[in-house]
């Protein structure tokens, strides 16, 4: 039995090569399939240069376990969460190392209803099976299928459902996608808002997906990674700035002076807005 050190408390992350490679990705897919026994799951991957190969190896492991795979292509983690819930499938996996260094990659796993799989909700069981590698022979007659799909339009519909476009006032936004997976989604949001006549102007920086991350690893939580967004807000006289990490499951906001806004202030603002729509709701 091989100890797999890429399994962490809440996800899978490891240095490429020894800790995470295509063989290990196949074993993870096979273990996920044998443990949860899903009928259909969705897969996606971020812009890292190794994500596509790892995703396809993962898909093969899932198919060998009899799971049908729907591949939504280059995507962010939030799109996997959305796809899992929207399609009503049995789970989803995003291949991503988020904001980790270049020589890393990883995976985030969910089950039906887009419920995260962590150490105490199944991840340790998947690890145990992947480490043992004692899988039953592949039944070719029952092998799962593989299909590529796109849910981008449905995802944009979902996002815009949170706002009333008619109530938008003129707004100039700096958006820094960090050369990650957020870029195409930002393009789609911009196009949709323009078609609806919304008075929103986008100033996009580092918007083109690029797995070499020519402008640095997208981790706006680090002070040294905030300067480009700050400067763009000031230069363009923007109302605010938004910076995403690599798989856009986190974003960070800047005010009209280019100053970074700490997360606890954002929680308060969002809570206030949600409570107006849902009085008495609990905020976690």
Of the candidates 69, 60, 65, which has an alpha carbon nearest to the alpha carbon of residue 22? 60
Residue 120's contacts (CB-CB under 8 Å, 6 or more residues apart) are none
Burial of 187 (0-12, 13-18, 19+ CB in 10 A): middle
Kindly list the domain boundaries of the chain, sorted by start residue: 12-150, 154-277
Of the candidates 145, 184, 150, 162, which has an alpha carbon nearest to the alpha carbon of residue 67? 145
CATH match of 12-150 with 3.40.120.10? yes
Burial of 172 (0-12, 13-18, 19+ CB in 10 A): middle
Average pLDDT on 11-20 reads: 96
Of the ranges 20-24, 242-246, 278-282, which one carries the lowest mean pLDDT score? 278-282
Helix (H, G, I), strand (E, B) or coil at 14: strand
Q: What percent of the chain shows pLDDT beyond 70?
A: 100
Residue 164 designated active-site: no
Q: Which CATH number fits domain 154-277: 3.50.50.60, 3.40.50.2020, 3.40.120.10, 3.40.50.11540?
A: 3.40.120.10
Catalytic residue among 51, 75, 98, 177: 98
pLDDT for 141 equals: 96
Q: What are 257-283's pLDDT values in tens digits? A: 999 999 999 999 989 988 998 999 998
Interatomic CA distance for residues 186 and 26, integer angstroms: 32
Of the candidates 133, 204, 189, 186, which has an alpha carbon nearest to the alpha carbon of residue 156? 189
pLDDT for 53 equals: 98
Helix (H, G, I), strand (E, B) or coil at 249: coil
Rg (CA), the chain: 20
Beta bridge partners of residue 68, listed in sequence order: 40
| pLDDT higher than 70, residue 230 | yes
pLDDT for 17 equals: 94
| pLDDT higher than 80, residue 1 | no
Residue 156's contacts (CB-CB under 8 Å, 6 or more residues apart) are 185, 188, 189, 192
Q: What are 137-156's pLDDT values in tens digits? A: 999 999 999 999 999 999 99
Q: What is the pTM of this model?
A: 0.94
Q: What are 184-229's pLDDT values in tens digits? A: 999 999 999 999 999 999 999 999 999 999 999 999 988 989 999 9
Same fold, 12-150 and 154-277: yes
pLDDT for 202 equals: 99
């Amino acid at each position: 039995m091989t100890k797999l050190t890429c399994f962490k408390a809440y996800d899978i992350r490891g240095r490429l090569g020894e800790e995470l490679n295509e063989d290990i990705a196949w074993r993870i897919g096979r273990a996920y399939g044998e443990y949860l026994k899903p009928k259909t799951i969705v897969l996606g991957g971020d812009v890292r240069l190794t994500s596509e190969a790892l995703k396809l190896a993962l898909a093969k492991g899932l198919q060998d376990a009899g799971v049908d795979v729907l591949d939504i292509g280059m995507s962010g983690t939030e799109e996997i969460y959305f796809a899992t819930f929207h399609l009503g499938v049995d789970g989803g996996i995003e291949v991503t190392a988020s904001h980790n260094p270049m020589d890393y990659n990883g995976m985030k796993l969910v089950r039906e209803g887009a419920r995260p799989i962590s150490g105490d909700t199944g991840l340790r069981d998947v690890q145990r099976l992947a480490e043992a590698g004692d899988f039953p022979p592949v039944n070719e007659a029952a092998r799962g299928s593989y299909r590529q799909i796109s849910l981008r339009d449905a995802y944009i519909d979902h996002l815009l459902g949170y706002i009333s476009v008619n109530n938008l006032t003129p707004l100039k936004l700096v958006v820094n996608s960090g050369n990650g997976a957020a870029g195409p989604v930002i393009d789609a949001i911009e196009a949709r808002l323009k078609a609806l006549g919304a008075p929103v102007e986008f100033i996009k920086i580092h918007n083109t997906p690029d797995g070499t991350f020519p402008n640095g690893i997208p981790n706006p939580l680090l002070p040294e990674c905030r300067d480009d967004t700050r400067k763009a807000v000031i230069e363009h006289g923007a109302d605010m700035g938004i910076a995403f990490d690599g798989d856009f499951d986190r974003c960070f906001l800047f005010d009209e002076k280019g100053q970074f806004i700490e997360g606890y202030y954002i929680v308060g603002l969002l809570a206030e807005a949600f409570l107006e729509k849902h009085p008495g709701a609990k905020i976690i």
